[in-house]
Amino acid sequence: MKPTIINHSFSTPPVGAAGRVLNRTLGRWAAGLVIAGAVLLLSTGCGGGSSPPHPAERILLLDVSESTTKARDDYIDHLAKETTDLARDEGTTIHVILAAGEPLAESCITSTTFSSEEEGDWGELERVRQAASVTKQVNSLLKDPPIEDRNHTALIQALVLAGRQATKTEGPLEITIYSDGVERSADLIMYRNKLDDKDIRTTLDRLESEGLIPKKSLRGVSVNWVLPGYHEGGWNGSVDVLRIEKFWRAYAERVGAKLSWG
């Protein structure tokens, strides 16, 4: 299934009872998140003119599983700064993906473009206000995620969705992941794996054979990981943070992405 993603809307409708709850809740949230329409880019005219560069895009991948409950206050501090910095440039777009439940089935992606009719400082001020509104909406989402199954952290599926979005991107693209990094899903339960070199290689080979490694779409993309390994402990406390990092660095190498860890 390959959802169609457009600004200010959701793609393929969620399925099942949990999906219907997610669709209704995220639909309302997305309505509050919508700030402006897409920006129309025009060429600079004839006589050797060139088109202006495409605006930057950023994918924000939010882990809203139970293991990140305490970390989310810190997530929002980082996210507030990130969205404010992004909003300073006209036409920048952010795409939000939730990494819990079953992202591929629920296709929970929403997009917002920062845009203002004003120019100069007044335009920048308006876009910064838009960023504050987006941050407020995301903060509400983090406090009460519209996901019934919060026991699963589905980073692998969320990254597949990120890869699909990347194929639609024409401007500079980066991905920011807000997560402790511990995958716990039908695709991989990290605390059951050794996460040594052999295990990681075998796991990535299996995920690739199952179509869960977006090698082409994420090649060359910068991935910034915020607060990896930050969790309350419990079952995932036995997973060594260094082994988690080793897995995701191997994943980034496999897909050709540039990973900044922590």
Query: Taking residues 204-226, what's their average pLDDT?
Result: 95
* Residue 136: Cβ-neighbour burial (10 angstroms; 0-12, 13-18, 19+): middle
127-151 mean pLDDT? 83
Distance CA 208, CA 197 (A): 16
Domain boundaries, the chain: 16-36+55-261
How does pLDDT run across 154-196, given as a tens digit for each residue?
899 999 999 999 999 888 999 999 999 999 888 999 988 889 9
Fold of 16-36+55-261: Rossmann fold (3.40.50)
Residue 250 has pLDDT above 70, yes or no: yes
Rg (CA), the chain: 19
pLDDT tens-digit series, residues 85-115: 999 999 999 999 988 777 776 666 788 999 9
CA distance 4 to 161: 11
In the predicted model, what is the mean pLDDT of residues 255-259?
Answer: 96
As to burial, measured by CB atoms within 10 angstroms (0-12 exposed, 13-18 middle, 19+ buried), residue 242 is: exposed
Q: pLDDT value at position 48? A: 40
